[in-house]
Structures are given as C-alpha cells and as structure tokens.
Structure 1
Amino acid sequence: MHENIQVYVNWAALIIEFTGVLVMIIGPFFALYRYFFNEHEDGSTYRTFRHDLGKAILLGLEFLVAGDIIATVSTAPTMDNVLVLGLIVLIRTFLSLSLQVELEGKWPWQKRQIGD
C-alpha cells in the first residue's frame, strides 16, 4: 500500500516539475507575442516584454520548487536528501527574489520602490 502511494506522489512531483519547465518554455513565446503584436503608444514594449518574461521564469521556478519539495518528502528522509533540498530551495529562492527586485524595483516586503 505504501509503495503505491509513493508511486503516485512521485508522479505528482514529476508532473509539477514538468509544468514548471513547460511554463518557462511557453512563457517567453507569450511574452514575444505581446512584444510584437500589442501596440504601446508610450514606448513601453521592451519593459512589458521584460516583465512578462520575468513573470514566466518566476512562475516556473515556483513550480520547480514545489516539485522538488514533494519529491524529497516522498523519498527516504535522509540527511543528504534534506540538505540537497535545502540547497535547491535556497538557490531558487535567491533567484526568485533577485528577479522580483529586478522586475518591480523593490523587495517583496517593501511598499515603495528602491531609489525613491
């Protein structure tokens, strides 16, 4: 019984990770579509493209972190697995925070923009 549940959990983790990769592959195409086919009179197409591309990467990273957590929890909880998961989550969290600051110009916990 326990093995059957573990198989389903592993499949769920794989599907979530695949979704993250798919978001990071398809997202740039949507950003390119908006860049080329949406008319912006104020010349903000490049900023919109950058913002859309960054959002796609952020969303994909969130899916990948969720998949990694599920995959690690479903395996044997050894210290090596937990340390690897911690390192992966730390790196991806740093990437997410960096992208969010780059896109929004502020830390997630700030109300005003950096440099104001």
Structure 2
Amino acid sequence: MRKAGVQVIATYGAANIAELVAILEAPYAAPGTSPEDIAAFDHQKEGMVVFLGSLARHMDKADPKVASIVQRLLDSLKIPSEPVQRAIALCLSPLIPAVKDQSTDILNSLLTDAT
C-alpha cells in the first residue's frame, strides 16, 4: 500500500502539492486517546511521513515546509519498522541539499541516536 502511495505522489505530486500537503498533515492533528486509536494513528503516521517525504521532492527546496518535512522524517526514523526506516532513508537522500546548512547538526543527531 505504501509503495502504491509513493508511486501516486511521484506521478501526480508536482501538480497537487498544496492539496496533498494539507491531506497528509491532517492525521497529525488528532492522534486519539484509546489504545486502538493510538495504534491506528501510529500506523497512519508511518505511511503519511513517507508520503510527505516523497511529496517534498516536488517542492521548491527553499520552501520552509521542506525543512519541516525533513525534521519529521528524521524524527520518524525512531519508528521500529525496518521497511519504514528504509522508505524514510530513500526520501531523505534527495532532500538533504535543501537543509545543507543543518547537515552537521543532522549528522550529529543521527550518530547520537544510533549509539
């Protein structure tokens, strides 16, 4: 399912950036309170963060949302799912030039988290 969403964004993302950002950021607003709601929210968050990262490839690198999305991707690397972490890594690599001025801090943070 995640792979299909990434392909849709790769095909249609450039023409629909504003609409897709609004849709993809909406699930972050209300995570829920019951254990079932929280579990569903976590599952949705995994997919949404990968979709946002894929969409950010189509955005102007000077757009402040790109830096915000990169930070969200970095925070989501803590999700204990190897497929999600791989998808995030694939999303991050083309976005790093947009946050080049923060690259030292990002690298230090990643190294700290890895140890």
Whose RCO is larger (CA < 8 A, sep 6+)?
1
Same fold (TM over 0.5): no
TM-score range (shorter-chain normalised) is 0.3 to 0.5
Larger radius of gyration: 1
**TM-score, normalisation: structure 2:** 0.41
